[in-house]
Amino acid sequence: MQTRYDTIGVAGAGAMGRGIAQIAAQAGSVVRLYDTQPAAVQKAIQELGAQWDRLLEKGRMDAAAVAAAKERLHPASSLQELADCKMVVEAVVERLDVKRSLFGELEGIVGPDAVLATNTSSLSVTAIAAGLKRPQRVAGYHFFNPVPLMKVVEVIAGLKTDPSVCEGLTEYARQIGHTPVQAQDTPGFIVNHAGRGYNTEALRIAGEGIADFATIDRILRDQVGFKLGPFELMDLTGLDVSHPVMESVYRQYFDEPRYRPNVITAQRLAGNVLGRKTGEGFYRYVDGKAQVPAEPPVPTVGELPPVWVSTRAARRPELYQLLKDLGAKVETGQSPSMQALTIVAPLGFDVTTVAVVERLDPARTVGIDMLIEDGATRRRVLATNPATRADMRDAAHALFARDGKPVSVIRDSGGFVTQRVVATIVNIASDICQQRICTPKDLETAVTLGLGYPLGPLAMGDRWGPTNVLEVLFNMQTVYGDPRYRPSPWLRRRGAIGLSLLQEEN
């Protein structure tokens, strides 16, 4: 197969460098793999050979393709052996000084037309290229681990990058079987920028004592459809990787509140409680399996009280029908009786605020999250307020679990769990588009392929309503007084005129 870059160099034989070398060799490029540790290069070549053999055994590659890939992969004992490469991809440690030093050496070795690409995940491409004589040939080429499975690559232009360099890298990405997305040189680019909301808001919820780690994970898996909850994901990635990225993006944006890190991960990083790799993270691991606490049992309640639903409840007709299907005795008066369990369904506000504003008895008031239609979720989420009586909490839990759907009961929180996390994700994505970091289409592609979200963040906003997301954000900003929740102009304007978040401006 003829590729745009028939000979490439890969500097760095770690997991990322191995992955890039693998897909490039499979696609038809001759690959010269270099590392400052020669033993790491030999180990990488052996591991790739064994991996190709396994692909042959499974029928995913034929014998000729395996033999050709092995023949194209060569060890390089020095940077000088990369002299004939048409492109060199750097995949070394995430330190600006190391990357700048490496490219400084490479500039004097490779040909004048060779492309220098950095696989940096969070450092400025412009800063990496700043000391070079020809910074116009440097671009970001950010792959995701494991490279053969994560089929997206961010192509990033620095301030001085020649457009033809990014065009060539985009074409090559397609030739090696990946989907390229174009990004401006901003902190976190697309994926690591868009991904800030999921973990940081979940940490904030846990830090407020709203729910424990396992409950938050269950809610976001079962209500929204994420493959892994945020704490499962951080355990898989490792806090030695994820926390520094949180801090890096936050600091590079000059302490922007939307990206604020959390003391929970800072403390755990300091204590080497990193996740799966250390056997203990947000979960404890035995033989590689997370030890997840059991869900609290459904309370046994002798006789359920009548139920009254707030006139301002989100999805009120749907909530009424659900209660009837569950066999509840529903009151329809203007106000609840003295015996009634009072159900509220706010967007963004906490149960306490709603009880005060609507002059309801807080002792009998329980909230339910109705941002997402009940039929589309696998879990219901209820919230108490500080005054909710135990018998009313248990009655609500038992009632909403009557049909067998799991129920989580959390403490009072503006926006419950799902509303907070979804609104934060949508808001950050909207601001990425507002800043013109990438197109809405590339953002959706990058996030669904790079993060595995069930929907792209803008599609989430469209599905559950930009006006609903706006209401959650405005109300959360009122509850918490935190500029973290201020809506992006992209979201606010489209919500105001009923325009899809995916709609690009003319």
Alpha carbons 143 and 179: distance in angstroms, whole number: 10
Q: Which two tokens stand for residue 141?
A: 């080429």
Cβ atoms of residues 431 and 168 within 8 Å: no
- Pairing state of beta strands 365-368 and 87-90? unpaired
Nearest to 33 by CA among 90, 93, 76: 76
Report the first-to-last Cα separation within the chain, whole angstroms.
Answer: 40
Alpha carbons 218 and 100: distance in angstroms, whole number: 43
Choice among 29, 90, 124, 142 that is catalytic = 142
Cβ atoms of residues 140 and 192 within 8 Å: no
Choice among 90, 107, 154, 232 that is catalytic = 154
154 catalytic residue (yes or no): yes
Beta pairing partners, 8: 31, 87
Task: Write out the DSSP string of 12-66.
Answer: --SHHHHHHHHHHHHHT-EEEEE-SSHHHHHHHHHHHHHHHHHHHHTTSS-HHHH
142 catalytic residue (yes or no): yes
Alpha carbons 433 and 166: distance in angstroms, whole number: 20
Residues in CB range of 313: below 8 A, 6 or more apart: 319, 343, 344, 345, 346, 370
121 catalytic residue (yes or no): yes
Nearest to 10 by CA among 27, 26, 22, 28: 22
Q: Report the side by side order of strands in the sheet with 341-344.
A: 330-331, 307-309, 341-344, 365-368, 380-383, 407-410
Choice among 192, 242, 413, 468 that is catalytic = 192
Nearest to 493 by CA among 505, 485, 477, 482: 505
Chain centroid, CA 219 distance in Å = 16
Alpha helices in 28-162 (DSSP H): 38-57, 63-72, 96-107, 125-129
Alpha carbons 305 and 321: distance in angstroms, whole number: 17
Cβ atoms of residues 50 and 56 within 8 Å: no
Query: How far apart, in Å, are the Cα atoms of 63 and each of 23, 56, 67, 133, 226?
Result: 16, 6, 6, 44, 38
Choice among 29, 121, 242, 310 that is catalytic = 121
Q: How many Cβ atoms from other residues are within 10 Å of residue 260's Cβ?
A: 17
Q: Which two tokens stand for residue 28?
A: 């038809």
Q: What residues are labeled active site? A: 121, 142, 154, 192
